[in-house]
């Protein structure tokens, strides 16, 4: 069996690459290297040429195509990131729909199907990722592709009631029936997605499979994980290295404690609300002033989308205001760094932070939460503060679970985390580590691919351990 992975963005790895925190790219590369095969998608380049280019790296062929400026505008910035992204993150107020964007989205999916169909072999298993490519299987089927095709939805799937606000939502949801398997992160996502197929498209559900017309599609939750052991080793090694961002950070902190947040600069991540919560913590607990700092790493993302540009401005404004109000001449409470760091640097920073603050307003899974746990020193671990609206909260109940809309609750969780006795930190860490280890990235790809191949999987419905 050859594995064919399709995702919106394909980054061909080189030796000196910098990966942003967590995310799809790292997880998929690890999956493909284990199985061998083809990775198809957008090169990230915008240009007129649009020819398909192939590059070989080990046992993986990367086949990439460019987008035209108009395609980037309509398919990527428009329908994917101004309509689907906000609505799937339950942000109706931020959802901007344009018919021309939707047409562009369908057009790119059609073109991808045309280019990909020529490369498919009879024994390939095709695994399509993320909301940019929902109709791709339907387009491939139209071109006669009969292979097993799976889809994994990395972001949340909202309720049918929310999704119907999106024009053409029923048509879009109906295209999911072209897949043999649809995977989502949590059981709530699975329930919502099945509801959408039943309520918007009239599908039948027998408790395991959705039937629509002649097609049967399995829908299941597969909570994505990380390579725990590799990340743990990275963190341990980073501590030993000289001249790392970790060492510089530690030196600049002195005896002060570190609270860390690492996210793409995205409104779904709750960065502004998190800064406000840290400010609230310092106001409620003035004795902590000067003793702790928040480092927020936030590599810029989708900056051509107006809502992201606004977040960029707002996060600077809030951090500036809080620093001016609460800081001292020799202490800056909040540092926001808007650039990407290597995974090694991040692993080291996570390990040296007493608190990992992962407080998205809504998130499919959130791999930073798992990376933070994996990076900890088992003899003296930090504490994870985690939003109940991250998919990861369904598995990581031993974190301090918070409602990111409640600034006071997050502020008190920071206080509790900083004051937590070592014995309790170790107990919580061990419980969390066990879970992320048992449901790592290799577990995830194995479960998904076995289910896609139609083979029996370990559990009837893959349950998060």
From candidates 43, 244, 301, 439, binder to ligand F6P by CB under 6 A:
301
Per DSSP, the residues of 92-148 read GGG----HHHHHHHHHHHHHHHHHHHTT--TTEEEEEESGGGTTHHHHHHHTT--S-
Which of these ranges, 18-26, 163-171, 218-226, 279-287, lies near ligand F6P under the rule CB under 6 A?
A: 18-26
Residues 6+ apart with CB under 8 A from 329: none
Q: How many residues bind ligand F6P (CB under 6 A)?
A: 11
From candidates 155, 173, 182, 246, binder to ligand F6P by CB under 6 A:
155
What token pair was written down for 376? 């900890």
d(CA 298, CA 336): 7
Residue 398 as a binder of ligand F6P (CB under 6 A): the answer is: no
Q: Site mask, ligand F6P, residues 241-270, x = CB under 6 A?
A: -----------------------x------
Cβ closest to ligand F6P, residue 227 vs residue 398:
227
Residue 292 as a binder of ligand F6P (CB under 6 A): the answer is: no
9, 130 in Cβ contact below 8 A? no
d(CA 215, CA 244): 54
Give the catalytic positions in this structure. 154, 363
From candidates 23, 299, 300, 327, binder to ligand F6P by CB under 6 A:
23
Residue 83 as a binder of ligand F6P (CB under 6 A): the answer is: no
Q: Length of the chain, please?
A: 465
Residue 130 as a binder of ligand F6P (CB under 6 A): the answer is: yes
Which of these ranges, 19-27, 119-127, 180-188, 273-281, lies near ligand F6P under the rule CB under 6 A?
A: 19-27
From candidates 19, 25, 188, 239, binder to ligand F6P by CB under 6 A:
25
Cβ closest to ligand F6P, residue 132 vs residue 141:
132
d(CA 411, CA 398): 18
Cβ closest to ligand F6P, residue 101 vs residue 130:
130
d(CA 362, CA 352): 26
CA geometry: angle at 105 spanning 103 and 109, to 5°?
115
CB of 276 to ligand F6P, least distance (A): 24
296, 339 in Cβ contact below 8 A? no
Q: Which residues bind ligand F6P (CB under 6 A)?
A: 8-9, 23-25, 130, 154-155, 264, 301-302
């Amino acid at each position: 069996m050859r594995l064919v992975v399709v995702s919106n963005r394909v980054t061909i790895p080189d030796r000196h690459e910098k990966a942003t925190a967590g995310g799809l790219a790292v997880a998929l590369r690890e999956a493909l290297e284990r199985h061998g095969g083809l990775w198809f998608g957008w090169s990230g380049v915008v240009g007129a040429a649009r020819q398909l280019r192939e590059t070989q790296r080990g046992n993986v062929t990367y086949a990439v195509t460019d987008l035209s400026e108009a395609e980037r505008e309509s398919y990527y910035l428009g329908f994917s990131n101004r309509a689907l992204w906000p609505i799937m993150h339950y942000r109706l107020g931020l959802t901007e729909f344009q018919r021309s964007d939707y047409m562009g989205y369908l057009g790119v999916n059609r073109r991808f199907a045309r280019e990909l169909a020529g490369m498919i072999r009879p024994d390939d298993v095709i695994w399509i990722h993320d909301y940019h490519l929902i109709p791709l299987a339907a387009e491939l089927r139209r071109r006669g592709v009969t292979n097993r095709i799976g889809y994994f939805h990395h972001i949340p799937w909202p309720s049918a009631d929310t999704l119907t606000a999106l024009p053409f939502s029923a048509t879009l949801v109906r295209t999911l029936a072209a897949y043999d398997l649809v995977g989502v992160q949590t059981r709530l996502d699975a329930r919502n997605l099945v509801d959408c197929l039943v309520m918007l498209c009239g599908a039948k559900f027998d408790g395991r499979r959705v039937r629509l017309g002649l097609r049967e599609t399995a829908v299941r939750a597969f909570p994505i994980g990380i390579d725990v052991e590799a990340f743990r080793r990275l963190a341990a090694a980073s501590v030993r290295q000289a001249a790392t961002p970790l060492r510089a950070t530690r030196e600049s902190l002195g005896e002060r404690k570190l609270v860390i947040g690492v996210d793409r600069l995205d409104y779904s991540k709750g960065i502004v609300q998190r800064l406000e919560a840290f400010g609230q913590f310092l106001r409620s607990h003035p004795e902590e002033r000067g003793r702790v700092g928040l480092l927020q790493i936030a590599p810029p993302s989708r900056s051509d989308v107006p809502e992201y540009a606004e977040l960029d401005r707002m996060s600077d404004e809030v951090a500036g205001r809080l620093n001016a109000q609460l800081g001292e001449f020799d202490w800056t409470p909040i540092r926001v760094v808007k650039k990407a760091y290597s995974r090694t640097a991040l692993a080291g920073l996570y390990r040296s932070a007493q608190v990992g603050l992962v407080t998205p307003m809504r998130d499919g899974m959130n791999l930073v939460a798992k990376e933070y746990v994996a990076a900890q020193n088992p003899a003296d671990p930090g504490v994870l503060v985690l939003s109940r609206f991250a998919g990861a909260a369904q598995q990581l109940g031993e974190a301090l679970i918070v409602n990111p809309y409640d600034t006071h609750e997050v502020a008190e969780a920071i206080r509790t985390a900083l004051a937590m006795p070592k014995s309790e930190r170790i107990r919580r860490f061990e419980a969390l580590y066990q879970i992320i280890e048992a449901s790592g990235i290799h577990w995830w790809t194995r479960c998904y691919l076995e289910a896609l191949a139609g083979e029996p999987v370990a559990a009837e419905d893959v349950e998060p351990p």
